[in-house]
Amino acid sequence: MRILEMLRLYRLFSKLHKTIKEATVKKLWKSKTIWFQLLTIAAAISGAVPLPADVTAAIVAAINVGLRLVTSEGVST
């Protein structure tokens, strides 16, 4: 009887762990940081940003820091 109770508890905690993990990880395509990086790459390739490279890099870095500060979830592929 003790073994069956332990098995039941194991299943319960496994489901709970899976639920918590899914709640704290989002899909890659939902990441604001990833989308911002993709837009940055597209703008750099197309030459759409009329600023010097060092200024652009500083702005991108600052925005990345801001996005990281508001992000509380990990990313899953």
Number of domains in the chain: 1
- Report helix, strand or coil for 4: helix
For the residues 44-50, what does the mean pLDDT come to? 87
pTM over 0.75: no
**Nearby residues of 63 by Cβ (< 8 Å), 6 or more positions away:** 36
Say which range, 20-24, 41-45, 61-65, 66-70, has the weakest mean pLDDT: 20-24
Reported as a single tens digit per residue, the pLDDT across 16-43 is 887 777 667 778 888 888 899 999 989 8
Range of the domain at 30: 2-76
pLDDT for residue 1: 60
pLDDT for residue 61: 92
The answer, yes or no, to whether residue 62 has pLDDT greater than 90, is: yes
